[in-house]
C-alpha cells in the first residue's frame, strides 16, 4: 500500500490531492466537446432538446452534488430542478413528467437505492435518464439513456472526495449545455464558462496549499462533540458536504444549515463549546452571512471562516479566518469543497480514527 500511497498517509488524503488532475481530466472532456449534447452520449442530441425540467436522484455525497447542481440548472438553463434522496423517492407516490430528465449521480454506479430509484422513475413513465458516474459500464449508466463519466480515477477512501468535485463539473456542463439548447447561453457567456473551467484546477491547487493552516485548526476541533457548518446559496450544499465529511470520518456530530435559517432553531445550540465553520466567499450573500456570524459570536460560538481574498475578513477574538483563493465566480462551490475536506481529514487524524475505512460505513452500498 505504501507504494500506492506515495507521500500520503491515507487514500483519502491522496485523493483530495489528486483533485487538480481529476478535475482537469474531466474538464478536458467537456472542453473537447464544447458544451454540445454529444458530451452526454449518442442519444443526447435527440433527447436533451425535449427536456423541460430536471429531477436529480442520489445518495450521500452524490446527493449534495445534486443540491449544488440545482442552483446552476435553474439559473443557467432556466428550467426547474428538484433533487431527492433516492431511498425516499423510490417508495413514494411520486408525480412523473416524462419531459423531465432524470439525473442519477453515483460514484460507484452500483448503489442499490439509486438504481432502484431509477427503475421506479422508469415505471412511472420517465424515459429520459442521464447517469453521472465514475465507474464505466457499471449498473446505473447501463440502465440509462445518457451518461457522463467523471474522470476521477479509482476512489478508494470510503468518504468520497474527488468523485464529488468531478461530479460537479459534469453537472455544471449539463446546466450550460441545457442553457445553450434553450437559447439562454450566448457565445460570450459560453466563453466565460469555458474560461471558468480552465482556471478551476489552478484555484483548487491554491486551496490545497492551505493544508498546513487547516491542519493547525484541527486540534481545536478534535476534542469537540459537535460542530455547525454554515453557508448560503451555492455554498450551502458545500456546508452540508463539510458536515457529512466530518461525521463520516471523525465521528463528531456535525450539522449544516443555510446561515439564514440559524434563527429558526440551531442558534439555541450555540455556546462557547460550539465551533461554527462558515463558508463565506465574497458573493451577493456575503453581507447576510456576516450578520449571521455576528449572531453566532454574540452567543459565544467560535467561528472558523473560509473566506476568499475579496471577502475582507480579519481575525478577532473567537474569529479564525483562512483565506481561500480570489473569488472564482460560478464555480466557487467547487473550490470551497477543498478546505472542508481537508478539515475533516485532519480532525479525524487528530482523533486517531480509521480515515479510509470509517466504522459502520461502506464504499459502495449494494444492499438496502
Ligand atoms: C456510500 C459512500 C459515500 C457515497 C454514497 C453514495 O455511503 O460511503 O461516500 O457518497 O455511498 O455512493 P455512490 O457510489 O452512489 O455515489
Is there a catalytic annotation at residue 55? no
By C-alpha distance, which of 1, 8, 12 is closest to 361? 12
Place of cell 449498473: 139
Cβ(309) to ligand 1 under 6 A?
Answer: no
pLDDT(309) > 90:
no
CA distances from 276 to 17, 28, 82, 98, 230 (A): 25, 37, 28, 42, 7
pLDDT(357) > 60:
yes
**C-alpha of residue 100 to centroid of ligand 1, in Å:** 25
pLDDT(171) > 70:
yes
Mean pLDDT on 64-69: 98
The predicted structure's pLDDT at residue 174? 98
Residues 6+ apart with CB under 8 A from 365: 59, 111, 112, 113
Count the neighbouring beta carbons within 10 Å of the beta carbon of residue 137.
10
The predicted structure's pLDDT at residue 211? 97
Is the pLDDT higher at 326 or at 11?
A: 11
Cβ(311) to ligand 1 under 6 A?
Answer: no
pLDDT(321) > 90:
yes
Contact between residue 68 and residue 332 where contact means Cβ atoms under 8 Å apart: no
pLDDT tens sequence across 274-286: 999 999 998 888 8
Ligand 1 atom at minimum distance from 61 CA: 10
In the DSSP assignment, the letter for residue 73 is I
Cβ(107) to ligand 1 under 6 A?
Answer: yes
pLDDT(313) > 90:
no
pLDDT tens sequence across 21-47: 999 999 999 999 999 999 999 999 999
In the DSSP assignment, the letter for residue 320 is E
Report the percentage of the chain scoring pLDDT > 90. Answer: 90
pLDDT(1) > 70:
no
DSSP-based three-state secondary structure for 84: strand
Mean pLDDT on 245-252: 97
The predicted structure's pLDDT at residue 285? 86
Cβ(218) to ligand 1 under 6 A?
Answer: no
Mean pLDDT of the chain: 95
Measured between alpha carbons, how far is 250 from 361 in angstroms, rounded to an integer? 13
Ligand 1 atom at minimum distance from 140 CA: 15
Mean pLDDT on 247-262: 96
Pairing of the two strands 129-133 and 146-149: parallel
pLDDT(48) > 70:
yes
Measured between alpha carbons, how far is 135 from 49 in angstroms, rounded to an integer? 27
pTM, 2 dp? 0.97
pLDDT tens sequence across 54-64: 999 999 999 99
Residues 6+ apart with CB under 8 A from 112: 365, 366, 367, 368
pLDDT(133) > 80:
yes
Ligand 1 atom at minimum distance from 108 CA: 14
CA distances from 155 to 136, 164, 183, 227 (A): 13, 10, 37, 27
Measured between alpha carbons, how far is 101 from 96 in angstroms, rounded to an integer? 10
**C-alpha of residue 364 to centroid of ligand 1, in Å:** 6
Mean pLDDT on 54-75: 98
Mean pLDDT on 215-224: 95
The predicted structure's pLDDT at residue 103? 98
Residues 6+ apart with CB under 8 A from 125: 96, 98
The predicted structure's pLDDT at residue 206? 96
Mean pLDDT on 218-235: 95
Amino acid at each position: 500500500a505504501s507504494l500506492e500511497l506515495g507521500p500520503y498517509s491515507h487514500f483519502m488524503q491522496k485523493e483530495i490531492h489528486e483533485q487538480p488532475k481529476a478535475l482537469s481530466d474531466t474538464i478536458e472532456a467537456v472542453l473537447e466537446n464544447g458544451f454540445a449534447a454529444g458530451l452526454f452520449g449518442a442519444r443526447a442530441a435527440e433527447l436533451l432538446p425535449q427536456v423541460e425540467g430536471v429531477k436529480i436522484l442520489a445518495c450521500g455525497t452524490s446527493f449534495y452534488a445534486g443540491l449544488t447542481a440545482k442552483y446552476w440548472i435553474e439559473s443557467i438553463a432556466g428550467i426547474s430542478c428538484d433533487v431527492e434522496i433516492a431511498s425516499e423517492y423510490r417508495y413514494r407516490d411520486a408525480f412523473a413528467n416524462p419531459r423531465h430528465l432524470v439525473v442519477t449521480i453515483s460514484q460507484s454506479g452500483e448503489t442499490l437505492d439509486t438504481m432502484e430509484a431509477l427503475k421506479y422513475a422508469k415505471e412511472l413513465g420517465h424515459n429520459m435518464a442521464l447517469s453521472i458516474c465514475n465507474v464505466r459500464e457499471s449498473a446505473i449508466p447501463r440502465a440509462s439513456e445518457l451518461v457522463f463519466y467523471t474522470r476521477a480515477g479509482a476512489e478508494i477512501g470510503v468518504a468520497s472526495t474527488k468523485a464529488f468535485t468531478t461530479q460537479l463539473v459534469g453537472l455544471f456542463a449539463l446546466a450550460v449545455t441545457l442553457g445553450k439548447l434553450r437559447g439562454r447561453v450566448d457565445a460570450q457567456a459560453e466563453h466565460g464558462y469555458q474560461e471558468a473551467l480552465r482556471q478551476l484546477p489552478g484555484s483548487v491547487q491554491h486551496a490545497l496549499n492551505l493544508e498546513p493552516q487547516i491542519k493547525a485548526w484541527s486540534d481545536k476541533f478534535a476534542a469537540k462533540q459537535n460542530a455547525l457548518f454554515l453557508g448560503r446559496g451555492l455554498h450551502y450544499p458545500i456546508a452540508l458536504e463539510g458536515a457529512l465529511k466530518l461525521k463520516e470520518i471523525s465521528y463528531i456530530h456535525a450539522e449544516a444549515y443555510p446561515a439564514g435559517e440559524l434563527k429558526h432553531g440551531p442558534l439555541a445550540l450555540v455556546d462557547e463549546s460550539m465551533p461554527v465553520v462558515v463558508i463565506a466567499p465574497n458573493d451577493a450573500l456575503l453581507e447576510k452571512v456576516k450578520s449571521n456570524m455576528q449572531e453566532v459570536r454574540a452567543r459565544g460560538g467560535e467561528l472558523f471562516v473560509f473566506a476568499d481574498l475579496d471577502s475582507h475578513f480579519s481575525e478577532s477574538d473567537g474569529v479564525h479566518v483562512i483565506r481561500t483563493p480570489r473569488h472564482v465566480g460560478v464555480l466557487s462551490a467547487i473550490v470551497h469543497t477543498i478546505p472542508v475536506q481537508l478539515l475533516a481529514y485532519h480532525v479525524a487524524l487528530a482523533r486517531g480514527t480509521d480515515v479510509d475505512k470509517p466504522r459502520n460505513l461502506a464504499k459502495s452500498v449494494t444492499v438496502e
